Amino acid sequence: MNLQLGVLEEIILLILLAQENTYGVEIAKAYEEQFEQTISLPAIHVVLKRLEKKKLVKSNMGEPTSERGGRRKRLYKATQEGFRIAHELKEKRNNLWQAIPGFNFQAI
């Protein structure tokens, strides 16, 4: 299966690979730490729904918490297919970088 991912989809998928069973606010924090810019929760939720539709992410409802007034959080986790696609994209990017004359990964 050869799926196309947008840049934001790929970034959020990578965050989910690093942080299993996480939710929108935690994804936003990870994004902001990495890129030093904010991202809206609605933008994250739109991307999560697209990734879930592509079967790269799955979700379930967590337990109710007192900090949320007894409401439950929707938790997200990357699937094995999500990991495979992310790895495939990494390999393709590495191949492109290696095609640049004079580029050396060790020099970075």
pLDDT tens digits, 75-100:
999 999 999 999 999 999 888 888 88
pLDDT one-digit tens code per residue, 28-83:
999 999 999 999 999 999 999 999 999 999 999 988 777 766 788 899 999 999 99
Q: Which of 16, 6, 8 is nearest to 56 (CA)?
A: 16
Domains plus CATH for the chain? Answer: 7-99 (1.10.10.10)
Under the banding of pLDDT at 50, 70 and 90, the label for residue 108 is low
Q: Looking at residue 4, what is its pLDDT?
A: 84
This prediction has a pTM of: 0.83
Burial of residue 93, with CB atoms counted within 10 A of its CB: 0-12 exposed, 13-18 middle, 19 or more buried: exposed
Name the pairing type of β-strands 74-78 and 57-61.
antiparallel
H helix runs in the chain, sequence order: 7-18, 24-35, 41-53, 80-98
Q: Which residues contact 96 (CB under 8 A, 6 or more apart)?
A: none
